[in-house]
Structure 1
């Protein structure tokens, strides 16, 4: 009981220190206003992204041969600069048209500059965004985010108003299909349709982009028929599990810059097949004329370090290799025939 009283006392003192004049006002109202400021600071940079896909037609009767079957996926995006570049998540299949809806309701067609499937990041360009007041983001440092940090997620998938939720960061993790970078794990009720939206810290700075939601699927909504055009509005299932993953803003901006400059992200390539053994990463095959082959790596070699950084499993090695630029010279410490040695490898391009 004494410990509980002490805890309450310390918590009360903390609130008095953080919220000046708490005795004269309602604490919840003050927190609410601060919350609204955080949302308002990031809202102009969050857009709705509507992607139209043309679907393959089944064998229709002759009278329906002119029917066009399309599907629209609705997600979110973040304006990253005054030139009209927008980041979002990669699209499911070939895209026929992409339209962006800004926070003030104005619409513009967007050009898909490129996608990076390793990080699930796509970059769009909208010509009309250049002169928009306060459109681009104010980004923070995701390194300051850790377990227990408070964040706000802001999406713009459905309806005219944003989709907002409050969450607490659980920590950092690596997703099975996203080995190139760690992601931020957040306990927040975010629906999958808001992928591409922003994760905002308590200073109103964007620190990440919503990537995926861990959820149980719920059946969607059937197609809507309009004349000769059949449009399937794919409504994302509601989230039944409040676990959200976000790409750190530094990774987002780095990938975006590569796509803007080159249309893609060039990644390193080693050229080996591996298995995990008791001793570590075991090479089972070396591709002929690959960087690994040219450097003298052999089957049965065990990879211990990449540029003096220990690698203990496949995701770590893949992240090291694919995060390096092609033609980069790296040092691999390996174990062969009872002794350790180092091999210099000039990476190829994936």
Structure 2
């Protein structure tokens, strides 16, 4: 007895066939002929939902990025004076060796005409060469237009024809619960697609210390290699750039973060125009509005940012902002805490105007402030000693003054890995209090003393509770 292919037979029909005896049975009009090969109906004709049609148009815009860099290798034995003398190594030199390192990430084409590709800053941070591989296996050398570590956004450019670019959606329209799809190259597996929902908005994780964070949280699976890829909505529009994950194991546990396109678009515009980001500022210090502070100020709300100090002659001072003002909104968007206010202002352009809704002595009012230049970096590193290259110097903030117990000196705000300043021994958080035995009062003093003409620099540095001297030649 012949049995029909199960794919083409319903459960009731199959039962009827199994119960048949050897005697011929009359043919049924609703069944195909015995032994016939029946083709499955295409999913779209069956009315089954599928992301495939959307992904066919989106995936050609998502690229694989291969980065080659050189990493220094320190021989720990040569750090010991005895071994340096034994092997004849010069004193004071640790003779670092270099090896070639490779890394992979993802990117997304956002301008098909000019060949602009968005990715993460950390993907290309140490790149000596960058190679972009398209979904059709075409490969191109990429030019780094600019990168901004504070937002983890970088812009590349490739020269190629027939590119496909994704439309950048208004990420402010996203809502928790919206369906999203992540596309990238996790662990080098190109063109990998995962789906999920928007789990949260405006997340500040503290992962990038001192950075500007306004993340989209999603449970769409994001793993190493997804960085810089695409987070798209169901219309195939770019809503975010996957950046990092929260995980104890290094693998996905359903908590991933993506940079919203509105933030990425603003950063990209500045990088393309200027090659760098010019941070805006209000000129205030502040803190979160806690329930205890709200009670002390006789306020009904517990969300907002409290101004604790207005810097003299700053944009905030000129606009009339005062200490104890509580900022509730910036350009109509709610402010939950001081970090969110810092993000909003820091991502605005110098000269832009922001309308702040504030509470002063419990009464609401609006104040318009023109965004000014960020004055954290007043020392021009181009006019400093070349061995200080890679370090960012800033005036002492309140926390640094408190820790140092002094008001003089300059703060080492950041030190780029593998830079001359890093090799010299400077660290983030150091406070330079003297150069060549001359006291440093402020950035102006430091700029004069640490000039390129100085044959060497003897830096007196405070580091935590202690102090040390660093000789730079």
SS in 2 for 1:146: coil
Change (3 A) 1:160 1:283: closer
User: What does 1:49-60 align with in structure 2 at a 5 Å threshold?
Assistant: 49-59=65-75
Instruction: Determine if contact 1:75/1:194 at 8 Å carries over to the other structure.
Output: yes
TM-score (norm 1): 0.72
1:205 matches 2:237: yes
Decide which of 292, 297, 301 is 2:316's aligned counterpart.
Answer: 292
Change (3 A) 1:30 1:209: farther
Instruction: Determine if contact 1:53/1:95 at 8 Å carries over to the other structure.
Output: yes
Decide which of 226, 238, 251 is 2:251's aligned counterpart.
Answer: 238
Please list every run of 5 or more consecutive structure 1 residues that lacks an aligned counterpart in the other structure.
1-23, 218-236
CA distance in 1, matches of 2:279, 2:270: 11
TM-score (norm 2): 0.55
Alignment partner, residue 78 of structure 1: 108
Decide which of 285, 297, 306 is 1:273's aligned counterpart.
Answer: 285
Change (3 A) 1:95 1:32: farther
Please list every run of 5 or more consecutive structure 2 residues that lacks an aligned counterpart in the other structure.
1-39, 79-86, 295-303, 375-473
Alignment partner, residue 182 of structure 2: 153
Structure 1 residue 57: Cα displacement: 3.4
Change (3 A) 1:248 1:304: closer
CA distance in 2, matches of 1:30, 1:267: 54
Alignment partner, residue 165 of structure 2: 136
Alignment partner, residue 315 of structure 1: 339
Moved more, 45-54 or 147-156: 147-156
Tell me which of the two structures has the higher relative contact order, counting C-alpha pairs closer than 8 angstroms and 6 or more residues apart.
Answer: 1
SS in 1 for 2:225: helix
Change (3 A) 1:160 1:338: closer
1:283 matches 2:307: yes
Structure 1 residue 308: Cα displacement: 6.1
SS in 2 for 1:91: helix
- Which is strand-richer, 1 or 2? 1
CA distance in 2, matches of 1:259, 1:210: 19
1:112 matches 2:141: no
CA distance in 1, matches of 2:334, 2:251: 41
Structure 1 residue 79: Cα displacement: 1.0
Alignment partner, residue 16 of structure 1: none
| Aligned residue-pair number | 304
